[in-house]
Amino acid sequence: MYGFPVLMLLNMVMLAVLAVQLHHSNSLQSRFADSMDTPAAAAMYHTRGGGIIAALLPIKFAVDYVTPYKDQARRGTCWDFGTIGALEQSYRKHGVAKGWLDSNEYVSFSEQAYGIEVMELCTGPVWRNSTEGGEVPLLYYLHKGLKDSVFPTRVCPYTSSPGHDWDCPELDDAFVRKSNPLSFTVNDMGTFYDQASIKHKLVQSGLAMPVSTTLVSVQHMYPCVGKLLANDPRCVAATCQLCPPELPMATCCVPADSTHGQNMDGEFLAHSGMQVEDGHTMLVVAYNDLFRTREGATGGFVVKNSWQDGFQGSHSMAYWMQDVSEWDDRIMCPNSFKYKPVHLL
């Protein structure tokens, strides 16, 4: 399932893993991506200063072979899930192109094992013994030590409870390490900060891209109108809190209890009065410049998230790409809150 339009991008990282070649297909999007891989196309899509001409990019695009959602639970391991998600999609894309995998097959990698391997390399007193917080670029900077450190999930299942960062007795077995069939090479890493460059790389490479962004809290407001707040002392004009610009129907407003930065349709919110709350890593898998959110914003990136499903909601990729209507999406997925989400950022 997919869900969350993009409102705040601080840092986008694309890891070119396994020297993956584009998987050629007959789709228009794939042919477009292939056409961008030539010197002539590079000159056409870039300005003299090196910028991307956004108008020449497709209005919407989704990468193939994204692997299913996983839940990081109550641990601060979003960076781990973002890294493994990128590796899984790259491996699946490469495997289908080479004939190792059928198009409906994938290999699940272990976030638990990868976190342990990173902790083994980070021996300083501050970060050792914890996977609470990290960075996707560790895969690049520590690639010599991590190239043989990705294991199938069956070797080391994820432990959802905090305080079990080191749980994986199988990694102490020399035979398990020696017989591990997985290995990878990071050929290069690029960091992209503007939307046009991110979209261009997404289309050109066909690879999912980890994104590091801030999360925000939003102070939602109720306008002092109607019987509900008619006698509320917080609505006295002389002492009340003024309404934000998007609520011009009243002078006074009452703060709501909720400060969530996401709505129940799987969308992150852009709103006046936003306050930075935390940081988070997700996986960008698509974008749609035409999608209109509940708040009235147009355009956004679709991200694979690692949060537990709940009131934040989700939708199918077909919905975010506007290939099916909302009604069709509800019929095919009648209770979207039941299923595991990929969100629209």
**CATH number of the domain that 302 lies in?**
3.90.70.10
Within a domain: 284: yes
pLDDT for position 91: 95
Average pLDDT over residues 38-51: 55
Within a domain: 197: yes
Average pLDDT over residues 41-61: 68
Pair (294, 191) in one structural domain? yes
pLDDT for position 335: 54
Average pLDDT over residues 72-90: 95
pLDDT for position 16: 41
Within a domain: 244: yes
Last residue of a domain, one of 255, 279, 308: 255
* Total number of domains constituting the chain: 2
- Summarised one tens digit per residue, pLDDT across range 27-38 is 445 555 555 556
Within a domain: 166: yes
Average pLDDT over residues 211-236: 88
Decide if pLDDT at 127 tops 60: no
Provide the 3-class DSSP secondary structure of residue 288.
Answer: strand
Pair (48, 168) in one structural domain? yes
pLDDT for position 42: 54
Pair (103, 238) in one structural domain? no
pLDDT for position 125: 64
DSSP bridge partners of 223: 253
Within a domain: 102: yes
In whole numbers, what is the pLDDT of the chain averaged over residues?
81
Decide if pLDDT at 345 tops 50: no
Residue 201 identity: K
Within a domain: 6: no
Pair (41, 155) in one structural domain? yes
User: Cβ-count burial of 174 within 10 angstroms (0-12 exposed, 13-18 middle, 19+ buried)?
Assistant: exposed
> How far apart are alpha carbons 115 and 118 in whole angstroms?
5
Pair (286, 228) in one structural domain? no
Decide if pLDDT at 17 tops 60: no
Within a domain: 95: yes
Provide the 3-class DSSP secondary structure of residue 39.
Answer: helix
CA distances from 295 to 53, 65, 79, 111 (A): 28, 30, 28, 35
Extract the tokens encoding 228. 């509900």
Average pLDDT over residues 49-68: 84
Q: Against a cut of 0.85, is the pTM above it?
A: no
Decide if pLDDT at 210 tops 80: yes
pLDDT for position 55: 76
Q: Which helix (H) or strand (E) holds 140?
A: helix 138-141
Could you tell me the pLDDT band of residue 215, with boundaries at 50, 70 and 90?
A: confident
Last residue of a domain, one of 255, 280, 310: 255
Decide if pLDDT at 59 tops 50: yes
pLDDT for position 337: 42
Pair (177, 235) in one structural domain? no
Within a domain: 4: no
Pair (57, 204) in one structural domain? yes
pLDDT for position 176: 92
pLDDT for position 102: 94
Main-chain dihedrals φ then ψ at residue 288, nearest 5 degrees: -145, 110
Residue 255, Ramachandran bin (φ over 0: left; ψ between -120 and 50: alpha; else beta): beta
Average pLDDT over residues 293-317: 83
Decide if pLDDT at 235 tops 90: yes
Q: Provide the domain limits for residue 93.
A: 11-217+264-344
Pair (209, 245) in one structural domain? no
Decide if pLDDT at 187 tops 60: yes
pLDDT for position 294: 85
Pair (238, 106) in one structural domain? no
Average pLDDT over residues 269-293: 87
Pair (62, 130) in one structural domain? yes
Could you tell me the pLDDT band of residue 260, with boundaries at 50, 70 and 90?
A: confident
pLDDT for position 84: 96
Pick from 54-68, 122-136, 246-260: least confident? 122-136
Decide if pLDDT at 170 tops 90: yes
pLDDT for position 228: 84
Pair (226, 91) in one structural domain? no
Pair (273, 325) in one structural domain? yes
Decide if pLDDT at 23 tops 60: no
